[in-house]
């Protein structure tokens, strides 16, 4: 799998991945903020233009997306600028369970670390115990919960200075 910065031409693929993932969540009865068709084309076009959106590709097929930012005023408004922030990590459902999500997180750790960041931070739906356990098993520490836009989010942080990454992935 190759992870590359999204270009303007990738906008439709990014939105398709997010919609596929949100439809899968609906089928699995996971309530939350990811609603099929709710992802703003304009907002993602702006994020792509800022260089924050990445696509995961397998043989030219976009199978996933992740947003990596250097600040997060919404979820972490008082945090110093010492972290990378992962948002909208998503895979097409056909690619779940193959370790691609882990590869994307390891990639985000690597990029954040080489950019001089000490932490990798992310959030998830507080009521989703499965994803919370997944992040905790990868070394993320729960930092608390916040209410954002009508839903409860759990905040997680991983210390990148420890030298320990989630797992070693061979490129």
pLDDT score, position 33: 84
Q: How many domains does the chain have?
A: 1
Give a yes or no: residue 53 inside a domain. yes
Is the pLDDT at 135 greater than 90? The verdict is yes
> In this model, does residue 169 exceed pLDDT 60?
no
Look up the domain containing 41 and give its range: 2-122
Looking at the domain assignment, is residue 44 inside a domain? yes
Residue 40 maps to which CATH number?
A: 3.40.630.30
Give bridge partners of residue 4 from the DSSP assignment: 55
Tell me what the mean pLDDT of segment 51-55 comes to: 98
Q: Which pLDDT belongs to residue 34? A: 86
What predicted TM-score, i.e. pTM, was given to this entire model?
0.92
Look at residue 134 and tell me if it is in a domain. Answer: no
- Taken in order 117, 120, 123, 126, the sign of the CA dihedral is negative
If you average pLDDT over residues 5-25, what whole number do you get? 97
Question: pLDDT digits over 36-46, tens only?
Answer: 889 999 999 99
């Amino acid at each position: 799998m190759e992870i590359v910065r999204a270009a303007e031409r990738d906008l439709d693929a990014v939105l398709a991945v997010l919609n596929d993932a949100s439809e899968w969540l609906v089928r699995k009865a996971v309530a939350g903020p990811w609603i099929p068709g709710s992802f703003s084309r304009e907002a993602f076009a702006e994020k792509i233009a800022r260089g924050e959106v990445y696509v995961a590709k397998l043989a030219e097929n976009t199978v996933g997306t992740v947003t990596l930012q250097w600040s997060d005023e919404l979820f972490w408004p008082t945090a110093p600028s010492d972290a990378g922030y992962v948002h909208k990590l998503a895979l097409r459902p056909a690619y779940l369970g193959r370790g691609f999500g882990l590869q994307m997180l390891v990639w985000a750790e690597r990029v954040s670390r080489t950019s001089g960041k000490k932490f990798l931070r992310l959030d998830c739906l507080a009521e989703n115990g499965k994803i919370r356990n997944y992040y905790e098993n990868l070394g993320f520490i729960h930092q608390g919960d916040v209410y954002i836009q009508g839903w409860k989010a759990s905040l997680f942080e991983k210390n990148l200075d420890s030298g320990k990454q989630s797992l070693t992935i061979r490129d």
